[in-house]
Copies of this chain bind each other. A is one copy, B any other.
Amino acid sequence: MTLNVYLAGEIHSDWRERIASGAEAAGLEIDFSSPVTDHGASDDVGVALLGDEAESFWKDHKGAGVNAIRTQTAIKRADLVVVRFGEKYKQWNAAFDAGYAAALGKPIVTLHPPEHEHALKEIDRAAMATAETPEQVVGILRYVIEGTLAG
């Protein structure tokens, strides 16, 4: 079984790379996708491509539209959505992506430190599993694809 896996959420740590390299080391066939993780490009894409805006609200609006093409396409294609919440920031888009995935019936794995557990209880409840480390997510991916626990 080959999987399409969307990696949603936090863009300020290397969790995506750790999952991808772990999956590669385990020899898993996975097609990973993600939002654009270059914060500057993600914020500026609307005005950079489609013309400047005087109001920051509309600058954000234009950018969010272009980003949504990428994220919604990737979530719709995904077999599994991993949603990461980091230590900082509001990360409302991560929670939005989780809700979007849940309504589409996509299985979700949440990834976050234990101190977020109470605040994330609704989202953890909608998930099939809650992990604390990227390596645990790799373990889940291996099990889902190969049916085996790591040796």
Interface residues of A (CB under 8 A from B): 1, 3, 33, 36-38, 41, 44-46, 48-50, 54-58, 60-74, 79-80, 85, 89-105, 107, 109, 116-131, 136, 139-140, 143-144, 147-149
Give complex CA distance A121, B62 in Å: 9
Contact A149 B41, CB 8 Å, known A93-B122, A104-B103, A118-B56: yes
Mostly, the A contact residues are helix
3 closest Cβ pairs, A-B complex: A99-B99, A95-B95, A103-B103
Residues on B with C-beta less than 8 A from A44 are: 149
**Are the C-beta atoms of B103 and A64 separated by less than 8 Å?**
no
